[in-house]
């Protein structure tokens, strides 16, 4: 759903080798925040933050950033 938007923001509008979710976390607020770790090819990862409001709201990509494997190891 957000692959094209993430490629535009982080990869100069070039296609990723892959775009496969690895894990996710949720936080319930006035809707739900999702943090989704996505493999984009090789060891490259991106972390997406998506907000999905209550009712018939449309999910919104609120942030996308490169995720370094060192960040994961520090947790």
Tens digits of residue pLDDT in 18-54: 999 999 999 999 999 999 999 999 999 999 999 999 9
- pLDDT, tens digit, 9 for 90 and up, residues 5-14: 999 999 999 9
Residue 73 lies in a domain: no
Residue 27 lies in a domain: yes
SS (H, E, C) 1-40: CCHHHHHHHHCCCCCCCCCEEEEEEEEEECEEEEEEEEEE
Residue 64 lies in a domain: yes
Burial class of residue 13, CB neighbours in 10 A (0-12, 13-18, 19+):
exposed
Residue-level pLDDT at 71 = 55
Residue 62 lies in a domain: yes
Residue 74 lies in a domain: no
Residue 75 lies in a domain: no
Question: Which residue range forms the structural domain that includes residue 32?
Answer: 3-68
Residue 19 lies in a domain: yes
> What sign does the dihedral 29-47-65-54 (CA atoms) show?
negative
Residue 7 lies in a domain: yes
Q: How many domains does the chain have?
A: 1
């Amino acid at each position: 759903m957000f692959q094209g938007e993430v490629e535009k923001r982080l990869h100069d509008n070039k296609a990723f080798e892959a775009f496969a979710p690895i894990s996710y976390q949720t936080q319930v607020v006035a809707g739900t925040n999702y943090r989704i770790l996505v493999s984009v090819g090789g060891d490259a990862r991106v972390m997406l933050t998506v907000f999905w409001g209550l009712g018939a709201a449309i999910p919104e990509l609120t942030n996308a950033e490169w995720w370094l494997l060192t960040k994961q190891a520090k947790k």
